[in-house]
Amino acid sequence: MTPLERMAAALDGGVPDRVPVFLRDLTLGLDVAGYSTPEVCAGEFDAERSARSVIAAQRELGHDAVVGSIQFCGMEVEMLGGELKFPPYGIPSIVRHPLDSPEKVDAAELPDPLREAPLSNLVRSYQLVSERIGKKVAILGNVEGPLTKAGILRGLDVLSLDLVSNPDIFRKILQHSNQLAVDLSAALSVSGVNLAMFVAAATDNPDLFGKDVFQRYTIPGLRIIVNDAEKRGCPVIFHPHGTFSHGEFAGLVDDALGTGIAGFQFAEENDLGMAKRRWGDRACILGGVNAFTTLLLGPLNAIREETINCLNSCMEGGGYVLMCSCSLHRGMPLDHIREMIQTCASHGIYEKTTGRRSGGGDTGRSGKGRSRWSLCPSCGRHYHTLMARGLACAGCPSSIRGCMLTRCPHCDTESSLDPSMARRMMSVLRDYRRQFGQSSFR
């Protein structure tokens, strides 16, 4: 089978000759091709160098599927008036979010990815990659999820305050976010993507915003992307962060599958074996080695062992694609990635008649903590700390004057707050209210 055929079979729930590998390497190819980050990413974006980087990485490492361009969060930030930083050999980052005032949210004119650079040159990179390797290698598009893109446009902390204080602004940002995703998805679908659209949704994470927000905003936004992609016969893979294989958010996978997605990639801290048993008959399961610990730090025998554990948990019966837990960027050791791919090539082979593999059992992993959440000592409920400051503490002058307490929005119980977090919330809340020409407290 060709890499494209292998990926297509697995995504369709079938049994290929072996488990395919999709790295979702977004800037890793720059290391392989030897380009600095600004050489490719700054300004109008260099489509030719981007395509060369993607192809160089695929030929060096031998993975089955690629994203058709070098990509990073915020490709449209400068087009909408924001500011990016391009470190010589690092990952581009946002210095100033483009829609950082209500007026900019209302006045925003969304770019055309087929006609306006740098997005048009990103699309051109997909075309070049498709022309050169697209007959054999799977090419997937990459767009951001609803809340993830909204956080890029507005800033995640400000977006959290919009949710509780200015829901009209929040909904408007989500409309922009969904439209940007649909427009780019449509452009990529006709410009080089030959398999599927990947919805990267790192901050569409119920650990950050809660289950209700995920159901009210992420799921409808995902459905918009899926419905639009279906018009061009392009299946969608969804990749939110959070613990979904077990625990309180497991039901959200069913909600996501209800939108019609073809695959679900599970991030770190999920039990892949449990996910395959529960949802493997409804969608392709994607996921694998922890990118932030095992793959980055090694050693090689640890990478090999975790890869084999993932295969033992998920490959039987097909419908599985090996990935690492998140996207890959420059700086990741290439020999570590090569070890994962080679281990899959040698241990991920299917028997021709049964579709089975040999050896192994499931791996168990513990749940992940809530980094931006507080636990109320009285009612025992979790709540988003910054959102509580904007909601439960509205009108209190102390909320922007050094208060070291957080107030539960469910029962009004106060509890102590880490001083650094308190200072950060004061600054964010003060700046947020200033956007609307309001005093720092009501």
d(CA 58, CA 133): 10
Terminal-residue alpha carbon distance, the chain:
65
pLDDT digits (tens, 9 = 90+) for 140-192: 999 999 999 999 999 999 999 999 999 999 999 999 999 999 999 999 999 99
What's the pLDDT score for residue 403? 83
What's the pLDDT score for residue 369? 31
Pairing label, strands 65-67, 405-407: unpaired
pLDDT digits (tens, 9 = 90+) for 249-274: 999 999 999 999 999 999 999 999 99
Least confident of 158-172, 329-343, 411-425: 411-425
Record the tokens describing residue 193, joined without a space.
């993507």
Task: Tell me which DSSP letter residue 110 carries.
Answer: -
Instruction: Say yes or no to pLDDT of 401 above 80.
Output: no
What's the pLDDT score for residue 361? 35
d(CA 25, CA 57): 9
Pairing label, strands 138-144, 196-201: parallel
Instruction: Say yes or no to pLDDT of 201 above 60.
Output: yes
Confidence of residue 117 (pLDDT cuts 50, 70, 90): very high
Helix, strand or coil, per DSSP, at residue 63:
coil
What's the pLDDT score for residue 395? 65
Mean pLDDT across the chain, nearest whole number?
A: 90
Domains in the chain, start-ordered, CATH in brackets? Answer: 3-347 (3.20.20.210), 373-435 (no CATH)
What's the pLDDT score for residue 69? 98
Note the helical H segments in 315-418: 334-347, 385-391
Q: Which range, 327-331, 379-383, 395-399, 427-431, has the best average confidence (pLDDT)?
A: 327-331
Confidence of residue 20 (pLDDT cuts 50, 70, 90): very high
Confidence of residue 416 (pLDDT cuts 50, 70, 90): confident
For every residue of 90-112, DSSP letters joined together read S--EEEE-TT-SHHHHHH-----
Instruction: Say yes or no to pLDDT of 421 above 90.
Output: no
Instruction: Say yes or no to pLDDT of 32 above 90.
Output: yes
d(CA 255, CA 217): 12
pLDDT digits (tens, 9 = 90+) for 337-354: 999 999 999 999 998 655
d(CA 237, CA 260): 10
| Angle, helix 300-314 to helix 272-279, in steps of 10 degrees | 20
What's the pLDDT score for residue 417? 79
What's the pLDDT score for residue 407? 81
Instruction: Say yes or no to pLDDT of 362 above 50.
Output: no
